[in-house]
Structure 1
Amino acid sequence: MLKLTDVSVNYGSFTAIKHVNIEVTEGEIVVLLGANGAGKSTTFRAISGINKLDNGEIYFQNRAIGGRAPDKNVQAGIVQCAEGRKLFPQMTVQENLRMGAYVHRRKKTEIKHSLENVYELFPILKEKHHHDAGSLSGGQQQMLAIGRALMSKPKLLMLDEPSVGLAPLIVEQMFQVIEEINREGITLLLAEQNANAALSIADKGYVFENGEIVVQGTANELLANDDVRKAYIGA
C-alpha cells in the first residue's frame, strides 16, 4: 500500500530524515518508534505531502505521490491525525467531525453514515456532540481527533503520538480502539514513544534515531531486541 524509497527531507541545511525506506502492506499496523526529534513526524508530513522531498520517492498503491498536494492525498485516502490533536476548540464536537469530512462535503448520506460510525466507536462523543471541543478531557479530545480523521474515510490512517499525555487506562483503551479500526479494514501507521503498547498491537516496526532508521523488524523481533528494550521499553 505504501512504500518510501530512499526518502530524505531537509529543513534548510538541517537534514531531518535521511535515506528512509519503509514498506506498509494493506491491512497492517506499522509503528515508527523513536524519541522526540528522531524523524517520525517529518516522515508523516512527507507522506501527507506537507514536506517537500529532497531525495527519494513515495508510492501509494503503486503510484508515485512525492510532491502531490496534501488535499489530493487526503482524497486518495491518506489521512493524518497530527500530534497535539489540532482541534478547533471553540467549535462543537460535531462541527469538528464534519470538518474531517470536508473532502466528501457533497456526499451528505456518506457523511451521516460516517458520523454514525464514529459515534458508535466513541459513544462519549455522541453524548457530547454539542459541547465545545475545548471543554473535553484529554482522552476525549484524542478520540475526537481520531474520529475527525476517520470522517475523511482513510485507506491509510497515520496517527502521530496518539497516547501522549494520556492516563495509562485511557492509553489502553486508545490502543484497543486502534485495533478495532484496523479490523474494519483500515491500514495504520503509528508514530509512538510508548513502544510496549504500540508493539503489542503492531505487525512490524521501524526505529528512528537522528533521522535514520537504525532497526527494523516484526513486532516480536523488536520486543526481543535488547537495544530496543533498553532504549524504549526500559527492560
Structure 2
Amino acid sequence: MSQVKLQASELSVNYGPFTALEGINMNVKNGELVVLLGANGAGKSTIFRAISGLNKPSSGEVHFLGKEINGLSPDKLVKLGIVQCPEGRKLFPMMSVYENLHMGGFVLRKSKKEIKESLEYAYDLFPILRDKKNQAAGSLSGGQQQMLAIGRALMSKPKLLMLDEPSLGLAPLIVNQMFEVIQQINQQGTTVLLAEQNANAALKIADRGYVIENGQIVLEGKSEELFNNEEIRKAYIGA
C-alpha cells in the first residue's frame, strides 16, 4: 500500500478574482480510503473538479500513477482510471437503471464481456438495482439513486473512485448502508477518495483524512487521530 496513486502539489484554483483553493498538498496511496472533511463550500468539490479535469488549476500539479495529468480532458482521465461520482448524483432521470449503468461503462464499450462483468458487480453490490433495472432512474428513492450513481461510477473499473458527498440528504439508516458498501468497494481493491461532511461516518471507514477550511488544508492525520481530536469533534461530529 506504499505506492502513491494520486499526488496534488501546491494546487491552487481561482474563480476569477476569488481563490477557491490555495496550496493544496495531499496524496492518496494505492488501496487507501482517504476522506476530505469540511463544511459546505470549504473546497472539497473544487479539489475533485481539479483532479478530474473539470477545473483548470491556477498553479500547482496533479500526478496520477507517477504521471502529471494537468490539462488532460475529463474523458482522458476516465480512461486513465480516475472516475468521479458527483455530488447530487447527476443521473439521467428518464433513462432506465440499466441504461444509466451502461452509460458509465462507455470507456469499455468495445468489450461486451467487461461491461457484463461490471454490470454484475454493480448488481451484486446493490441488489435493488437488479430488481429495478428497467425502471426510470428518476422514479427511484434518494438512497437508490445514490446507489445507482455509485454503481455507474464503478462501471468503468476505476483505479481511483472519487465520491463527492454520497450521504447528502439520505436517512441515517441508508447512510450506514452506503458507508458499509463504500468500505466493501475499498476492501475489494478500489482506491477511494471520499469528500464528506458526515465526519462521524466517514472517519469510521477511512484510513486517513484531510480537513479543508476556506480552500486550504488545516489538518491531516490518521482517521483515529482526527476522530479523537477535540476541535474536529466539536466542529464536525457534534461531541
Q: TM-score range by the shorter chain?
A: over 0.9
In structure 2, distance between residues paired with 1:18 and 1:130: 45
Amino acid at match of 2:125: L
In structure 1, distance between residues paired with 2:32 and 2:235: 25
Aligned to 2:212: 208
2:49 pairs, out of 37, 45, 60, with 45
Aligned to 1:222: 226
In structure 2, distance between residues paired with 1:110 and 1:152: 9
1:141 to 2:142 alignment: no
Aligned to 1:55: 59
Aligned to 1:24: 28
Instruction: State how many pairs are aligned.
Output: 235
1:129 to 2:100 alignment: no
In structure 2, distance between residues paired with 1:96 and 1:60: 27
1:190 pairs, out of 167, 190, 194, with 194
1:69 to 2:73 alignment: yes
Gaps of 5+ in 2: none
In structure 2, distance between residues paired with 1:117 and 1:190: 20
Q: Secondary structure at the match of 2:99?
A: helix
In structure 2, distance between residues paired with 1:225 and 1:215: 10
In structure 1, distance between residues paired with 2:31 and 2:110: 28
Amino acid at match of 2:56: K
1:99 to 2:100 alignment: no
Gaps of 5+ in 1: none
Q: Secondary structure at the match of 2:114?
A: helix
Amino acid at match of 1:103: V
Q: How does 1:77-116 map to 2 (within 5 A)?
A: 77-116=81-120
Amino acid at match of 1:64: E
In structure 2, distance between residues paired with 1:59 and 1:182: 21
- Large movers: runs of 4+ above 2 Å: none
Deviation at 1:183, TM superposition (A): 1.2
1:9 to 2:13 alignment: yes
TM-score normalised by L of structure 2: 0.98
In structure 2, distance between residues paired with 1:204 and 1:183: 15
Aligned to 2:174: 170
TM-score normalised by L of structure 1: 0.99
Q: Secondary structure at the match of 2:14?
A: strand
Aligned residues: CA RMSD = 0.5
Deviation at 1:106, TM superposition (A): 1.1
In structure 2, distance between residues paired with 1:182 and 1:226: 28
In structure 1, distance between residues paired with 2:198 and 2:210: 13
In structure 2, distance between residues paired with 1:116 and 1:24: 28
In structure 2, distance between residues paired with 1:194 and 1:121: 22
Amino acid at match of 2:71: G
Q: Secondary structure at the match of 1:197?
A: helix
Amino acid at match of 1:130: N
Amino acid at match of 2:50: A
Amino acid at match of 2:232: V
Deviation at 1:220, TM superposition (A): 0.7
In structure 2, distance between residues paired with 1:31 and 1:219: 9
In structure 1, distance between residues paired with 2:109 and 2:14: 35
